[in-house]
Amino acid sequence: MSAPTPPARSGAASAIGWVLTIGLNVVAPILTYNTLTENHGWSEFSALLAGSVWPVLDSAIMVAWRRKLDEFAVVTLVFLAITALVSLIGAHTARALLIKDSGVTGLFGLLCLVTLLAPRPLMFYFGRKFATDGTPASTAWWNGMWQYEGFRSTMRTMTLVWGVAYVVEALVRIALAYALPTKTMVTLSPLMIYGVLGALGVWTAWFGKRRAAEGARRQAEAEAEAAAAAAA
């Protein structure tokens, strides 16, 4: 049985989503920190805490935009809640907040690894968010792909790689938080997060295409063998 063809996606919707994500998770927190500390005399900790509001806004916009609370949004909101909680109850220093921020990405990596034991790994849900435009047709297509062993193997491999990568990234950022000034880390930290995300995105696209090509080749070989057997 051949895999179904994915429905057409809205390229404009995907582009807007990425612009919002980068703007509210990278650009806005950096500008907020620099403006509050340099022009308004805020402490480093207070400015960092204020900048953390932007990712919350990003999640709220995405939920309102899609008009549903999917698994991706739930995971995002849970981690934002964890970040807010540890920020309020822990040591109130800029370095401590940066370390806690690194801890959140480390927890994300651990979550990826833990979900390898679940019926469907975390990258299945992340893939559904970014490989579809949220319409019923594209969502149904993605869910239907789970019946194929090659697709399941691909999702599990991607989840493993993402999990290990973000655990390592978190450990490196924690070390840098002790070695570099806070102002440097405010810029470097989100760049590292999204730099790793970009590298993983490129690898994921390459790996997905490679697996898809292998699946198409195996399917063609199986069909050829079936045709030859029928002819004999």
Give tens-digit pLDDT for 90-102: 556 777 777 777 7
Cβ atoms within 10 Å, residue 119: 7
3 state DSSP class of 135: coil
Q: Among 19-33, 65-79, 129-143, which is the least confidently predicted range?
A: 65-79
Q: pLDDT higher for 168 or 18?
A: 168
Confidence at residue 9, expressed as pLDDT on a 0 to 100 scale: 52
Question: Please, are residues 98 and 44 in contact by the beta-carbon 8 Å criterion?
Answer: no
> How far is the C-alpha of 35 from the C-alpha of 162, rounded, in Å?
34
Taking residues 203-210, what's their average pLDDT?
Answer: 88
pLDDT band at residue 225, thresholds of 50, 70 and 90? confident
Would the pLDDT of 1 be above 50?
Answer: no
Residue whose entry in the numeric block shows the structure tokens 């655990």:
167
pLDDT at position 162, please?
Answer: 93
* pLDDT-derived band at 194, boundaries 50, 70, 90: confident
Rounded distance, CA 44 to CA 29, Å?
A: 12
Per residue in 131-170, pLDDT (tens digit) is 776 677 878 888 888 998 888 999 999 999 999 999 999 9
Q: How does DSSP assign 98-138, residue by residue?
A: HHHHHHHHHHHHHHHHHGGGSSS-HHHHHHHHHHS-S-HHH
2: pLDDT confidence band, cut at 50, 70 and 90?
Answer: very low
- 25 versus 200: which is more confidently predicted? 200
Comparison of pLDDT for 189 and 130, the residue scoring more? 189
More confident residue, 162 or 22: 162
* Burial readout 23-58 (b: 16 or more C-beta within 10 A, e: otherwise): ebbbebbbebbeebbeeeebebbbbbbebbebbbeb
Concatenated DSSP letters of 2-54:
PPPPPPP--HHHHHHHHHHHHIIIIIHHHHHHHHHHHHS---HHHHHHHHTHH
Determine the average pLDDT of the residues in 192-205: 85
> 109, 162 in Cβ contact below 8 A?
yes
- 189 CB-near residues (< 8 Å, 6+ apart): 98, 101, 102, 173, 177
Q: What angle do CA 34, 15, 139 make, to 5 degrees?
A: 125
Angle at 98 between CA 176 and CA 57, to 5 degrees: 135
Overall average pLDDT of the 182-199 stretch? 82
Can you tell me the mean pLDDT for 34-42? 76
